[in-house]
């Protein structure tokens, strides 16, 4: 029972980590290696709003979501737009950007165990005989809500449909009058906000540390690759796969192996089926 | 120059010495001969003299480290721009070579000058074997999978607590003197630099470039792509492993930090700054970037921010790099002509 409950929570957390990355890659084929950095950055931003400017928790959250979205949009508009389509340059530029943000935060003194965010609701509740605190339950609820809302957004609104059109066939979308750069900008802003949302939900469970940025990036990539780069529903399913696999290894092998599972999942998936378990196979683009 | 734009334009003309292609020259005089050899000799002599003119142990050590990064940068440049495999996991080569050299030295008692070549070859074989299943992957997929290899190795060593775990392997012999250390590493850089330059201009280099540009055409010519990629990865990982082996003997310690991202990122930054696809540019980039990063050591992690920003700036705004720019200025002259 414990495995089932904590597996679900872990999976929801992974889905939250990965959705932003999956969204940006799905729409604009842009591997956003600064994802983990945006995650940590928004954590510190909320902390700053909350403790230094002494704003209301709710207001700080909203401000952080907006600010991170704007940062994402600015990054796209001023940097990434110049190198779109050159895959390797994209990877290196976004990675360098993430590195600059993370190490800049570390240099700015944001390190150690002193930075924590308060839980939304403290306390815990018994679920089928297992004690779970409210924050962890909220992660599952918010994770489910975000997936649901994204589904509604991409199926029933003009902008969501435009994003999906871009993801499926950029050239056809262009012919139908969808502005490719604007949509990519929107996707980048949304993806960054999703990273911020994940940070706000998950960081109250522990400390805000710079190192988390690298781990979040690896986990997000793991989920997206196993699910198939660019496939959103695949990412959600893969989150459950990896989430449960991680909890099982923690229970039976030890906590050290948690990241090994994620990395092994990436390597094995890429070798056997580069388009992921749920992605569409595009044989010639991926391998010779 | 006060020239009105609109009536004049700038034109670029190749110097007469260049005919038809990069490799064929018509030399008519000593002046033309020196025109060709001076840049190459400047690099060779400059690197050989460098340890003699530098003040103190500290900066000599910096040059050694810069040369190790240069080996990695050549290996990255060779794989990325001549074979089309963008390998973001240079740290994997360093770690493998480093640990092998450490084991050969501590368990079998071999001296550094034996362990380095041995670790390079054994390490290259090991890396090639482990990377073999990913070789058919293309573009971004190979980049991501190669980025994950060093991280994976790091976590496995940590989790299984093998090879000394997080403490690493201690008590490794150092070089007999710092001159041996310096000239081993400088010799290795020069050897591999001119070796790979030779290699990419031979027939096999042509095939490798074909693998990069149009692998289906190579396949249609009845050649086995994976065989050529394997060979290229073997050569590149031998360079990386040699860098790792030398590093281990310099620090007298081998640990999981040799799989750290530094060894993957800095060589890439150096290659981009120096000029992609020139090989020599990669070396020059390292010789610029590593000392700057040493000067900024007082600022702690700010130096990582610094070279990340430089890398980003060069990728986005000046993707040709310094050496390509320099070559253009050297081989062509500009003048204003009336329209």
**Tally of CB atoms within 10 A around B317:** 10
For the segment A13-21, the average pLDDT, to the nearest whole number, is 87
Nearest residue in chain B measured CA to CA from A100? B305
Cite the DSSP H helix spans in chain B: 30-53, 56-78, 90-108, 112-131, 139-160, 178-201, 203-213, 215-220, 225-251, 262-274, 280-295, 302-317, 322-331
pLDDT digits (tens, 9 = 90+) for A206-257: 777 887 888 888 888 888 888 877 677 788 888 888 888 888 888 888 777 7
| Total domains in the fold of chain B | 1
Please judge whether A97 and B151 are an interchain contact, meaning their C-beta atoms are less than 8 angstroms apart: no
Q: pLDDT band at B124, cuts 50/70/90?
A: very high
Q: pLDDT band at B306, cuts 50/70/90?
A: confident
Of the candidates A285, A268, A277, which has an alpha carbon nearest to the alpha carbon of residue A236?
A277
Q: In this predicted structure, what is the pLDDT of residue B19? A: 53
pTM of structure: 0.85
User: Among the listed ranges A131-145, B30-44, B163-177, which one has the minimum average pLDDT value?
Assistant: B163-177
Whole-angstrom Cα distance, residue A110 to residue A242? 30
Please count the residue pairs, one from chain A and one from chain B, whose beta carbons lie less than 8 angstroms apart.
122
Which residue in the set B144, B156, B312 is minimally distant from A221, CB to CB?
A: B144
- Element holding B277 (H helix, E strand): none
Q: pLDDT band at B118, cuts 50/70/90?
A: very high
Across chain B, mean pLDDT equals: 85
3-state secondary structure A123-172: CEEEECCEEEEHHHHHHHHHHHHHHHHHHHHHHHCHHHHHHHHHHHCHHH
Which residue has tokens 């378990």? Answer: A277
B133 and A CB contact within 8 Å: yes
Please judge whether B159 and A96 are an interchain contact, meaning their C-beta atoms are less than 8 angstroms apart: no
Which phi and psi angles does B254 have, rounded to 5°?
A: -130, 125
Q: What is the ipTM of this complex?
A: 0.78
- Element holding B7 (H helix, E strand): none
Please judge whether B311 and A263 are an interchain contact, meaning their C-beta atoms are less than 8 angstroms apart: no
| Residues paired with residue B11 on neighbouring β-strands, in sequence order | B335
Q: Is residue B18 part of a domain?
A: no
Residue B20 has pLDDT above 60, yes or no: no
User: Among the listed ranges A142-151, A279-288, B150-159, B269-278, which one has the minimum average pLDDT value?
Assistant: A279-288
Which residue in the set A92, A257, A287 is minimally distant from B136, CB to CB?
A: A287
| Shortest Cα–Cα distance, A225 to chain B (Å) | 9
End-to-end CA distance of chain A: 45
Residues of A in contact with B272 (CB under 8 A): 92
Residues of B in contact with A83 (CB under 8 A): 315-316, 319
Which residue in the set B139, B225, B301 is minimally distant from A87, CB to CB?
A: B139
B270 and A CB contact within 8 Å: no
Which residue in the set B133, B148, B269 is minimally distant from A266, CB to CB?
A: B148
Strands B332-338, A124-127: pairing is unpaired
For the segment B298-318, the average pLDDT, to the nearest whole number, is 81
Q: pLDDT band at A265, cuts 50/70/90?
A: confident
CA dihedral A244, A245, A246, A249 (to 10 degrees): 120
Which residue in the set B145, B156, B302 is minimally distant from A270, CB to CB?
A: B145
pLDDT digits (tens, 9 = 90+) for A28-49: 778 888 888 999 898 888 888 8
Q: In this predicted structure, what is the pLDDT of residue B145? A: 84
Q: In this predicted structure, what is the pLDDT of residue B1? A: 47
Residues of A in contact with B141 (CB under 8 A): 270, 274, 286-287
Which residue in the set A79, A257, A267 is minimally distant from B148, CB to CB?
A: A267
For the segment B141-150, the average pLDDT, to the nearest whole number, is 84
Mutation target to probe the B interface, by most B beta carbons within 10 A, among A75, A96, A252, A281 is A96
Q: In this predicted structure, what is the pLDDT of residue B4? A: 56
B159 and A CB contact within 8 Å: yes
Residue A199 has pLDDT above 90, yes or no: no
What are the structural domain ranges in chain A? 2-108+127-209
Q: In this predicted structure, what is the pLDDT of residue B241? A: 93
Please judge whether A93 and B148 are an interchain contact, meaning their C-beta atoms are less than 8 angstroms apart: no
For the segment B310-337, the average pLDDT, to the nearest whole number, is 84
Q: In this predicted structure, what is the pLDDT of residue B75? A: 94
Cite the DSSP H helix spans in chain A: 2-28, 35-47, 57-78, 87-107, 134-156, 158-168, 170-175, 180-202, 212-227, 232-252, 258-272, 283-286
Of the two residues B335 and A65, the one the predictor is more confident about is A65
Strands B8-14, A130-133: pairing is unpaired
In order of B120, B135, B141, B142, B194, the CA distances from B228 in angstroms are 19, 10, 19, 16, 20
pLDDT digits (tens, 9 = 90+) for A134-169: 778 888 888 888 888 888 888 888 888 888 888 777
Please judge whether A96 and B156 are an interchain contact, meaning their C-beta atoms are less than 8 angstroms apart: no
Q: In this predicted structure, what is the pLDDT of residue B23? A: 62
Residues of A in contact with B299 (CB under 8 A): 107
Please judge whether B316 and A82 are an interchain contact, meaning their C-beta atoms are less than 8 angstroms apart: yes
| Shortest Cα–Cα distance, B152 to chain A (Å) | 6
Q: pLDDT band at B283, cuts 50/70/90?
A: very high
**Tally of CB atoms within 10 A around A110:** 20
CATH of the domain at B125: 1.10.3470
Most confident of A115-124, A227-236, B51-60: B51-60
Residues of B in contact with A249 (CB under 8 A): none
Residue B228 has pLDDT above 60, yes or no: yes
**Tally of CB atoms within 10 A around B302:** 16
Residue B2 has pLDDT above 70, yes or no: no
**Tally of CB atoms within 10 A around B140:** 20
In order of A1, A4, A141, B152, the CA distances from A129 in angstroms are 8, 12, 19, 36
Please give the structure tokens belonging to residue B95.
Answer: 């770690």
Q: pLDDT band at A95, cuts 50/70/90?
A: confident
Q: Is residue B9 part of a domain?
A: no
Residue B18 has pLDDT above 70, yes or no: no
Spatial contact of A32 and A188, defined as CB atoms under 8 Å apart: yes
Please judge whether A107 and B143 are an interchain contact, meaning their C-beta atoms are less than 8 angstroms apart: no
Which residue in the set B139, B144, B159 is minimally distant from A225, CB to CB?
A: B144
Task: Report the percentage of chain B scoring pLDDT > 70.
Answer: 95
Residues of B in contact with A97 (CB under 8 A): 308, 312
Whole-angstrom Cα distance, residue A103 to residue B303? 9
Residues of A in contact with B158 (CB under 8 A): 256
Of the candidates B69, B39, B80, which has an alpha carbon nearest to the alpha carbon of residue B326?
B39
Which residue in the set B145, B155, B312 is minimally distant from A260, CB to CB?
A: B155
Spatial contact of B283 and B73, defined as CB atoms under 8 Å apart: yes
Residues of A in contact with B146 (CB under 8 A): none
Of the candidates B301, B305, B302, B268, which has an alpha carbon nearest to the alpha carbon of residue B285?
B268
Nearest residue in chain B measured CA to CA from A84? B316
**Tally of CB atoms within 10 A around B66:** 26
Please judge whether B268 and A260 are an interchain contact, meaning their C-beta atoms are less than 8 angstroms apart: no
Residue A274 has pLDDT above 60, yes or no: yes
Please judge whether B138 and A79 are an interchain contact, meaning their C-beta atoms are less than 8 angstroms apart: no
Task: Report the percentage of chain A scoring pLDDT > 70.
Answer: 93
Of the candidates B77, B100, B88, which has an alpha carbon nearest to the alpha carbon of residue B232?
B77
Domain carrying residue B307: 38-332
For residue A260, with 0-12 CB atoms within 10 Å meaning exposed, 13-18 middle and 19 or more buried, which class applies?
A: buried
B301 and A CB contact within 8 Å: yes
Spatial contact of A92 and B316, defined as CB atoms under 8 Å apart: no
Please judge whether B139 and A287 are an interchain contact, meaning their C-beta atoms are less than 8 angstroms apart: no
| Shortest Cα–Cα distance, B73 to chain A (Å) | 15
Please judge whether B143 and A88 are an interchain contact, meaning their C-beta atoms are less than 8 angstroms apart: yes
Q: pLDDT band at A283, cuts 50/70/90?
A: low
């Amino acid at each position: 029972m414990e495995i089932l409950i904590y597996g679900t929570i872990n999976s929801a957390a992974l889905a939250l980590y990965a959705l932003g990355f999956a969204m940006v890659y799905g729409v604009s084929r842009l591997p956003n290696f600064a994802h983990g950095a945006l995650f940590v950055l928004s954590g510190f931003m909320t902390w700053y709003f909350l403790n230094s400017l002494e704003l209301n928790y709710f207001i700080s959250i909203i401000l952080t979501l907006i600010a991170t979205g704007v940062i994402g949009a600015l990054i796209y508009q001023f940097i990434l737009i110049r190198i779109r389509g050159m895959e390797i340059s994209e990877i290196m530029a976004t990675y360098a950007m993430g590195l600059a943000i993370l190490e800049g935060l570390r240099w700015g003194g944001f390190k150690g165990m002193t930075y924590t965010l308060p839980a939304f609701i403290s306390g815990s509740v018994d679920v089928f005989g297992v004690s779970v605190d409210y924050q962890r339950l909220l992660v599952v609820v918010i994770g489910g809500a975000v997936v649901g809302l994204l589904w509604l957004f991409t199926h029933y609104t003009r902008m969501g449909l435009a994003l999906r059109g871009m993801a499926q066939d950029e050239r056809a979308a262009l012919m139908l009058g969808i502005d490719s750069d604007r949509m990519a900008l929107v996707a980048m802003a949304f993806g960054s906000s999703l990273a911020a949302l994940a940070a706000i939900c998950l960081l109250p469970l522990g400390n805000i540390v710079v190192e988390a940025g690298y781990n979040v990036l690896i986990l997000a990539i793991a989920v997206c690759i196993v699910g198939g780069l660019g496939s959103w529903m695949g990412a959600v399913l893969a989150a459950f796969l990896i989430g449960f696999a991680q909890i099982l290894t923690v229970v039976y092998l030890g906590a050290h192996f948690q990241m090994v599972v994620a990395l092994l999942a990436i390597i094995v998936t890429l070798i056997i089926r580069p388009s992921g378990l749920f992605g569409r196979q595009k044989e010639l683009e991926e391998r010779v | 120059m006060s020239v009105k734009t609109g009536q004049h334009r700038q034109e670029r003309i190749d110097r007469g010495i260049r005919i038809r292609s990069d490799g064929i020259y018509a030399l008519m005089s000593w002046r033309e001969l020196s025109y060709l050899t001076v840049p190459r000799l400047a690099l060779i002599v400059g690197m050989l003299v460098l340890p003699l003119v530098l003040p103190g142990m500290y900066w000599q050590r910096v040059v050694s480290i810069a040369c190790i990064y240069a080996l990695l940068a050549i290996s990255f440049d060779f794989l990325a721009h001549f074979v089309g495999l963008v390998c973001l996991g240079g740290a994997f080569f360093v770690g493998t070579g480093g640990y092998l050299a450490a084991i050969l030295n501590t368990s079998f008692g071999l001296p550094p000058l034996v362990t380095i070549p041995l670790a390079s070859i054994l390490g290259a074989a090991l890396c090639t074997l482990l990377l073999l299943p990913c070789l058919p992957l293309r573009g971004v997929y190979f980049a991501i999978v190669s980025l994950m290899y060093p991280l994976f190795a790091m976590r496995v060593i940590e989790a299984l607590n093998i090879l000394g775990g997080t403490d690493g392997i201690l008590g490794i012999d150092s070089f007999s003197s710092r001159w041996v250390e310096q000239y081993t590493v400088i010799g290795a850089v020069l050897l591999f630099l001119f070796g790979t330059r030779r290699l990419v201009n031979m027939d096999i280099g042509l095939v490798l470039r074909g693998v990069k540009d149009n692998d289906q055409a190579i396949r249609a010519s009845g050649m086995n792509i994976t065989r050529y990629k394997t060979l290229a990865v073997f050569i590149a990982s031998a360079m990386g492993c040699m860098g790792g082996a030398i590093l281990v003997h310099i620090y007298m310690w081998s640990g999981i930090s040799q799989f750290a991202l530094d060894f993957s990122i800095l060589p890439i930054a150096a290659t981009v700054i120096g000029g992609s696809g020139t090989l020599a540019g990669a070396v020059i980039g390292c010789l610029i970037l590593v000392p700057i990063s040493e000067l900024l050591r007082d600022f702690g992690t700010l130096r990582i921010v610094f070279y990340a920003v430089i890398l980003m700036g060069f990728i986005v705004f000046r993707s040709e790099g310094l050496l390509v720019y320099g070559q253009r200025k050297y081989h062509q002259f500009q003048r204003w002509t009336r329209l």
